[in-house]
Structures are given as structure tokens and as C-alpha cells.
A = this chain, B = another copy of it.
Amino acid sequence: MQIKSPDCTVCQFRSMMFDSLSRDELGRLNTCKSQHLFGKGELIVREGSAIQAIIYLHKGLIKLHKTTSDGRSQIISIARPFDFVGLLSVFSNDLYRYSITAIEDSSVCFINKDCIHHEILNNGKFALDIIRRMSQATDDVLQAKFSLSMKHLRGRIAHILLDFAENIYNTLAFDLPVSRKEISELIDMRPENVIRILSEFRKDGIIRINGPEIVILKPELLRQISDAG
């Protein structure tokens, strides 16, 4: 669903996006963007389709994911508001290498790829900004995958629970926006084992579970399990 696009020059998130652009430049960008709403579960970008725009997440939560040859799915990362998404392949490829799907109701800004190109060519400060963001995003993904590959299943679950609590919701009680199956795709294991280990944590009094609701009762212990691997 496309909605009325507010003016970038007065966008409340402007400073987080385009600090380095002048009012004029922002005005130009304003003419080549469009804002859309996506409901939970709705597909935003299909893997393999042509890249036309950079995606800026305004509100909500989205996942980058990929389907394997044998039909299974893997989640590359989860993006939070104010993240640019898909910076990774936008400049090196013509086709998206990942699908993007909303995992909560989300508001998304599409900024035409050519416009971004144009601004990069003409504004070095903006270019440097984009580069910094790309580096950061990449580092984060690699760091996460690296750290996961060193951990046993219990450590991975502990890690992902703390991640949701600390980096996404900023509270020890939250509703999981993803199914057990999706968690398994995010941290590279089977759904059965996600459930099994969550149950163990529940029995051990480390967390409380109510359907999608998770309450972390012993964050220190969870941290310990995550660090131990």
C-alpha cells in the first residue's frame, strides 16, 4: 500500500538518514522516493528481481532472507528502523540477492537507485556517509554469523533472545515477531531444537513463555550461556 509521502526535508528521521545533504539536495531526493506500508508477513522484495531502489526502514521490522536450492530458507539478518537495507548488493549487482519480508507492520521508503548514484557522484560527504553505513551493516552481519558458528545450540538461542531484548526491544519482556521456524532459519538449526531448548530454558526458570511472549527472568544466566558457547 502506497501512502502520501511526507516531504524528506521535514521528515522526522531526516537527520538519521541524510545528514550530509543540503536542503536543495534533499529536495531532489524527495522527487525520487516513495513510501509504502507492508503488513506483517508481506513480501517487500523478491530475490532475483531487478534492483531499482534502496530501501530505508522507517518503522517496523523486516527480514532479509534467501531460499536454498533444496527449498529451505535462511535468514541473513533482521533490520531495525533507520537501517538502510540491501545496501549490500545494490551497488554490485543488478538483481537482489535476497528477499525482504516484513515481520512486523512496517513503513518503508524506496529511494531510487539512480538518484542515490547521482548524489554520490556529486557529494563526497554523502558518499562517505553511505560507505560508513555499508561497512557497519556488513561488519554486523559477519560478526553475528561468525559468533553463531562458534556456539552450540543452547548458546545460539541464548544469544538471539538477548539480541531481541537488548538491541531490538530494549526490554526483558517482548513478543517474538518471528515463528520458531524463522528463529531456526536465523540461527541455523532445526525448529524442533529451537522449541526443545526454549522449553529447557523455561523449565530451568530462565525465561517465561506465553505463546509469542517471552520474558527473560535471568538475563545474567542467559548471558553466561551465550558466552560459554
Question: Which of A's residues lie within 8 Å of B, judged by CB?
Answer: 66, 68-70, 74, 76, 87-93, 97, 117, 120-125, 127-128, 130-132, 134-136, 138-139, 141-143, 145-146, 149-150, 188, 227, 229
Contacts and interface: CB of A to CB of B under 8 A. Distances in A.
A91 B123 CA distance: 17
B145 A97 contact: no
Contact of A124 (B76, B120, B141, B188): B120
Nearest to A149: B188
- 6 tightest A-B contacts by CB? A92-B135, A121-B124, A127-B127, A92-B136, A91-B135, A138-B138
A95 to B, nearest CB: 11
25 contacts: A68-B150, A69-B227, A70-B229, A74-B146, A76-B146, A87-B135, A88-B135, A88-B138, A88-B142, A89-B139, A91-B128, A91-B135, A92-B139, A93-B135, A97-B143, A117-B128, A120-B127, A120-B131, A121-B124, A121-B125, A121-B127, A123-B124, A127-B131, A142-B142, A149-B188
A36 to B, nearest CB: 24
Nearest to A66: B146
Contact of A131 (B69, B122, B131): B131
